[in-house]
């Protein structure tokens, strides 16, 4: 089942890359999709709890969808592209087996490692 979920995430990543293509995005937007949201790891400098919260905000697909929808509602292309980038990055992370973080530490995610076990 894990492989099926990873393939599903990979498909959504490919759809996100295609969406950037449809928006005629410059090449560096693709680089931003693959690396940009990981800047949120800097939140771990303030501790595990703050780090997990900041990281999860940048890697939650519902946040990405909300950003995209806000951009659509406001007719703001840059917000739409930001939503696509956040969504694509979250899908990429999940395809590689990385998930949303628990407050117990960076390695504890909703996909791989469960805290207090």
pLDDT interval class at 116 (50, 70, 90): low
Give the pLDDT band (50/70/90) at residue 76. very high
DSSP letter for 100, please.
P
- The rounded distance, in Å, linking the Cα atoms of 21 and 13 is 13
Question: CA torsion sign, 50 to 53 to 57 to 58?
Answer: positive
User: Residue 86 in contact with residue 66, Cβ under 8 Å?
Assistant: no
| Statement: residue 92 has pLDDT above 60 | yes
pLDDT digits (tens, 9 = 90+) for 35-72: 999 999 999 999 999 999 999 999 999 999 999 999 99
* pLDDT of the residue at 50: 95
Contact (CB, 8 A) for 103 and 48: yes
Please list the alpha-helical segments (H only) found in the chain: 2-22, 27-35, 48-59, 61-73, 77-95
CA neighbor of 36 nearest in space, from 67, 4, 11, 5:
67
Q: Is the pLDDT of residue 98 over 90?
A: no
């Amino acid at each position: 089942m894990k492989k099926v979920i990873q393939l599903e995430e990979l498909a959504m990543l490919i759809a996100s890359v295609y969406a950037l293509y449809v928006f005629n995005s410059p090449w560096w937007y693709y680089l931003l999709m693959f690396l940009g949201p990981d800047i949120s790891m800097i939140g771990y400098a303030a501790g595990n709890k703050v780090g997990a919260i900041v990281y999860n905000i940048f890697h939650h697909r519902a946040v990405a969808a909300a950003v995209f929808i806000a951009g659509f509602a406001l007719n703001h292309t840059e917000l739409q592209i930001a939503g696509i980038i956040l969504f694509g990055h979250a899908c990429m992370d999940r395809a590689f087996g990385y998930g949303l973080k628990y407050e117990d530490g960076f390695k504890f995610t909703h996909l791989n490692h469960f805290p207090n076990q």
